[in-house]
Amino acid sequence: MSVHLLVDFGSTYTKLTAVDLEEERIVGTSKAMTTVKTNVLDGFNNALEKLKNANPNMKEITAISACSSAAGGLKMVAIGLVEELTVEAAKRACLGAGALVNLVFSHHLSRKEIKQLKAAEIDIILLAGGTDGGNQECILHNAKKLADAKLNVPIIVAGNKDAQDEIEEIFTKSGDEFYIVDNVMPKLKQLNVKEAKEVIRQIFITKIIEAKGIKKAEEQTGEIIMPTPEAVLIAAELLAKGHEDVEGFGELMVIDIGGATTDVHTIGAGFPKRSEVIFKGLQEPFAKRTVEGDLGMRYSANALVSLVSPYEFKQYSSYEHDISAAAKKRHDNVDYLPESEEEREFDRALARICCDYSMSRHVGQVEVVYTPLGNMYYQTGKDLTDIRYVIGTGGVLINNEDAKEILREVNQKSNKKLELRPSDPEFLIDQKYILSAMGLLGQKYPKLAIKLMKENLE
């Protein structure tokens, strides 16, 4: 009698996953074009009809949970003081909450930067700077600049506690919508993004959904509870950690190659594994997400090929391509589907580059220090050499026979010795595209979500 329906309002497709709670199985999945411009419910109803037609015996739907990345997803700006410290902490809070970070600013905001802010499409601003008891002057300057700019965008203040009262006065006076939360870096190098992430989600639920015309969906689906990337991160964390007596997979990575971006999620501490390695820099989040805006198969195809020389491109493909023309074709026609083997190989090459480059940027690096006591190493970022599972998701990988071969690009490479990449992971593919749905389901039924992921990732 009870089917829990999980909905993902994506930028292109509205995807449904129906889970039978009693029989503990996935009944079916379906998708239809997202219809944000007219009525978002049209797309939802189309998908629902497909689902019902394909599964005529499906039981009654008793609950619906939804996430969304439609209408451009959640766009944020991260502002902090020092680039490697509070700026990075602010950025990680945004990414962890499932946002795209479109602009990043450090130190004192200038007029030019305020202009950039005004010109950009932004949903939320995250303002950080200074440890608790540390620098106040910079965050106060930036708060005043933002107040003067009259941006009409919600501002989350997550900086030096000592400056909170004054910032409260500044934004109360200017009439800006603002939220004061715990400092994202209360002590040097200590990361604390929990409250900031919660408030981002709250603003997303209450404001952003409405502004993007997705609110209407809630008439039928119940509250849209989080941005899609956050749902994926939650699913990954659940699968890694397990829940109560249900064991998890241990440290793992999820890589999602899309048309515009490549997302990498890793669950694991990533601490140095040897005593001669010393960790440097800001504390890493246990569940970490990075997003590469220039690595994508369609919208970002031009940017992607500009990263590699024609000579380097040959390492990713067995054909001689007219690289810039092939990339332009994909950029200009984002629905493009390859028809010939050569075109398919070009897509595979793009996917390999997405994997390889996103991995270089996500994983930690070591650097040798020659000391009188012998070689020591600095490690910045996570050591992911022992990651046990790498899970591929996103249309490109799911629909590709060679998905696992493409994913092999994440592995350790002889020419990238200092990168702490996975050494010998097992590869799994999210064949039914259920990860975000399982993140949603896991909010209420964590054990069932883990079970279904274990059964359906191949």
Partner 1 sequence: MKTIVIGVIGADVHAVGNKIIEHVLTEHGYNVVNIGVLSTQEDFINAAIETNAKAILVSSLYGHGEMDCKYLRENCEEAGLSKIKLYVGGNIVVGKQDFKEVEQRFKKMGFDRVYPPGTNIEDAITHLREDLGE
From 147, 150, 124, 291, select the one nearest 212 (Cα to Cα). 124
110 vs 315, beta carbon nearer partner 1: 110
108 vs 207, beta carbon nearer partner 1: 108
Locate 426 and state its tokens: 């097992």
**Chain positions contacting partner 1, by CB under 8 A:** 81-82, 84-86, 129-131, 133-137, 185, 187-188, 278, 280, 369-373, 376, 378
> What is the chain's Cα-based Rg?
22
CA distance linking residue 403 with residue 170, whole number of Å = 52
In whole angstroms, how close is the CB of 187 to partner 1 at the nearest point? Answer: 8
In whole angstroms, how close is the CB of 154 to partner 1 at the nearest point? Answer: 25
In whole angstroms, how close is the CB of 89 to partner 1 at the nearest point? Answer: 10
- Tell how far CA 387 is from the center of its chain: 19
137 vs 198, beta carbon nearer partner 1: 137
CA distance linking residue 157 with residue 163, whole number of Å = 10
In whole angstroms, how close is the CB of 316 to partner 1 at the nearest point? Answer: 35
Please give the single-letter amino acid code of residue 127: L
279 vs 445, beta carbon nearer partner 1: 279
69 vs 136, beta carbon nearer partner 1: 136
In whole angstroms, how close is the CB of 82 to partner 1 at the nearest point? Answer: 5
In whole angstroms, how close is the CB of 145 to partner 1 at the nearest point? Answer: 17
In whole angstroms, how close is the CB of 134 to partner 1 at the nearest point? Answer: 4
187 vs 444, beta carbon nearer partner 1: 187
Contacts of 299 (CB under 8 A, 6+ apart): 259, 260, 331, 334
Output 356-361 pairs: Cβ under 8 A, ≥24 positions apart: 356/316, 356/409, 356/410, 356/413, 357/262, 357/292, 357/295, 357/307, 358/255, 358/262, 358/264, 358/290, 358/292, 358/295, 359/255, 359/264, 359/409, 359/410, 359/419, 359/421, 360/416, 360/419, 361/290, 361/292
C-beta separation of 273 from 280 below 8 A = no
134 vs 381, beta carbon nearer partner 1: 134
In whole angstroms, how close is the CB of 184 to partner 1 at the nearest point? Answer: 11
131 vs 456, beta carbon nearer partner 1: 131
